[in-house]
Amino acid sequence: MNPFNILALSGGGYKGLFSARVLSCLEKEFGCPIAKKFDLIAGTSIGGIIAIALALEIPAKEIESLFIEKGNIIFKKRHLWSKGILFNSKYNNSGLKDTLTILFEDKTIGDLKHRIIIPTINYTEGKTQLFKTPHCSELCKDKNTKLIDVAMATSAAPTYFPIYHSTLGDFVDGGLVANHPGYFATIEAQKYLNQDVQNIHQLHIGTISQKFISSSSNCILTSSFLSWGAKLISLIFSCQENTTHFFLKYVLGNRYYSIDAETSDEQAKKIKLDAVSEKSKDLLMQKAESAVQKFMGTENFKFLKNYSALDFDSNCNDI
C-alpha cells in the first residue's frame, strides 16, 4: 500500500500563530496548498480552526495574517462592570465568531476539499465528539454542518470562552480530551480509511511546549478549584499532549515528527494562550521559523516535499 500522511494541529489559543507561521513557511517552500501534502488533517481548538481553513485551501499566509490582525478582537477582555465577571468566562466569543464568519462564510463540512477530523466535547451528551468529512460511506452525518459551528465547538476553552450553545448541542473545547489530535487521527486512518499502521506517517505541529509544575508553595498545595482557574486547564492540555506524543512515537517510530519549540521561564511569561502583545507575536514568529529550519534538515521533510496526497472524493469512494 502507498503511504498515508496525517497532519495533526494542537490547540493553544493565540499560540496558534506559531502553527500558522510554520505552515506558511512550508507552503511557500512547497509552492502549493499545504493540504495537498496530507491525506487527513486533524485539528483541535485553534488547531481545528486552522485545519478547516487549510481544508478549504485558504493560504496559510492569510491564516497567519488573521492572527496578527484579529487577535485583539478575539481576546477582548470583558469590562470590569460586566455582570458576573468573576463567574463568567474571561472573554465572550463574539469576536471569535465574527472572525470565523468572515473566514468561513456559510460553508459546511461538505464544502471542504480535504479530509478532516475535529475533536470537541458534546457537553449536552457528556461525551467526546469528532466532526468529520464524509470520507467513507459510514461518515455522512456531518456533511451539512456549518464550519462556523464546528470551529466554535472545538475552541470553547473553559474559563477563557463560554460553552458554545447551538442547535447541535452545547460544546466545550476539544483540548480537554485531545489537545494533540494525532491519536484520534491515527485510529481514524486505520478504522475508516483502511490503512495499515505501518503505512501511516504523521506530522504534528504544536503551539510551544510549556510545562506546568508545582512550586511547592502552600498557596498551591492547598489551593481550591476556584484558585486553580486557567492553570488547571493548561495543565490538562499539556499532559494530554505529552501522552499523545509518547503514544505516537511508540506506534509510528520515525514516521512521526513533531514541529514544536520550548521556552525559557522568562519567555513563557510572554507566551500564553491569550497573550496578544507585540512581544508575544515576535517570539512566536521567531520560534516558528527556527523550528521550520530544523525540520528542513530531516528525512521527514524530504518525504513531505515529495509526497502528494490521494484525491478526496466527498462521495466516500476514493479509497
Q: What are the catalytic residues?
A: 45, 173
Residue 66 corresponds to which amino acid?
Answer: L
Query: Which residues lie below 8 Å from residue 204, measured CB to CB, with a gap of 6+?
Result: 7, 8, 9, 10, 180, 182, 245, 248, 256, 257, 258, 259, 260
Q: Which residue has the cell 494525532?
A: 182
Rounded to a whole number, what is the largest CA-CA distance in the chain?
A: 61
The answer to whether 51 touches 116, Cβ cutoff 8 Å, is: yes
State the Cα–Cα distance between residues 183 and 187, nearest whole angstrom: 6
Cα gap 120→152, rounded to integer Å = 10
Phi, psi for residue 172 in degrees, rounded to 5: -125, 150
Q: How many C-beta atoms lie closer than 10 Å to residue 311's C-beta?
A: 11
CB 160 within 8 A of CB 230: yes
Separation of alpha carbons 75 and 113, rounded Å: 30
- Concatenating the DSSP letter of every residue in 194-262 gives ---GGGEEEEEE-S-B--------HHHHT--HHHHTHHHHHHHHHHHHHHHHHHHHHHHGGGEEEE--B
